[in-house]
Amino acid sequence: MSKIALVQFKASKDKNQNLKRILNYVQNASKRGAQLCAFPEFMMFYTPSSQSPAKLASLAETINDPFVKSIANAAKENSIQVVGTFYEKSRKKNRVYDTSFLISKSGKIVSTYRKIHLYDALGFKESNKITPGSKIMLPTQTSIGKLGMLICYDLRFPEMSRTLAAAGSEILVAPSAWVKGKMKEEHWITINKTRAIENGCYIIAPDQVGNIYCGRSIAVDPFGKILLDMKKRQGIGIVDISLAKVKQTRRILPLLKNRRTDLYSSFRI
């Protein structure tokens, strides 16, 4: 068994204030025995709709700048793996990447992923401020299993989770900032359960709460059982996972093996 900590909190517009909270959460997660601490999307700071693309771009950092480096140092000091997110500078004027990262317990950045599906839906247009990534990253072998990364709106596209599962992912981590709205919490719960069931893997989805976001950080096991639903509370939730559960589920419900990939590409959609 392995322990994963999900962090649900309300990010302020102050990057330094948020960083202090994040470092404290990393330390607390380690003290509670977690091997991985997973944070929500946009944990760096809250970006209101009134903030200009140029202002956001000016506040963004590179992977080697203080925000991520401080978290990497905390991961090393507390001997814990961390999945987090940040606004990453891009070469495109007044646009940033929405980037997640995986840090090892030795403080090394072992994987990064730039969100490829931008939330241009339901009245939102992330592409006004964010530029999309162009690559799904291969899953990373960690001390708790093979981990695949996606971000928030990516959950609505089953092809992405399936691609990561087919590549060997046993755990999918989806940092999110799920916007409130009609039926949105129902969508959130249903989609996370479905991605777990159809791929026979764990879904770990820490979410923002407050501001315009709905909370409900969730962890789902490979058979679709909700292990954790943080509702609206801020703080840390701990879940136990077992790779044996992944193997057992994929044996008795072999959805990945039963696919007919020989037929799926027989016509274009």
49: domain CATH number is: 3.60.110.10
Task: Count the helix, strand and coil residues of the chain and give each as a percent rounded to the nearest 5.
Answer: 30, 25, 40
With respect to residue 40, please indicate whether it lies within any of the assigned structural domains: yes
**45: burial class by Cβ within 10 Å (0-12, 13-18, 19+)?**
buried
Q: Are 82 and 105 in contact (CB under 8 A)?
A: no
The answer to whether 172 and 161 are in contact (CB under 8 A) is yes
What's the distance, CA 216 to chain centroid?
Answer: 14
- Domain assignment present for residue 206? The answer is yes
Tell me which residues of the chain have a pLDDT lower than 50: none
145: exposed, middle or buried (C-beta count within 10 Å: 0-12, 13-18, 19+)?
Answer: buried
Asked if residue 169 lies in contact with residue 147, where contact means CB atoms within 8 angstroms, the answer is yes
Please tell me the predicted confidence (pLDDT) of residue 265: 80
The reply to whether 260 falls in a domain is no
pLDDT at 263: 87
Q: Is residue 261 part of a domain?
A: no
Looking at the 3D structure of the chain, how many domains does it have? 1
Nearest to 71 by CA among 41, 43, 90: 43
The verdict on residue 267 lying in a domain is no
pLDDT of amino acid 27: 98
Domain boundaries, position 177: 2-254
Q: What is the pLDDT of residue 256?
A: 96
In a domain, 265, yes or no: no
Residue 202, beta-bridge partner list: 171
The DSSP code sequence of 97-123 is: EEEEEEE-TTS-EEEEEE--S----TT
Place of tokens 């202002």: 55
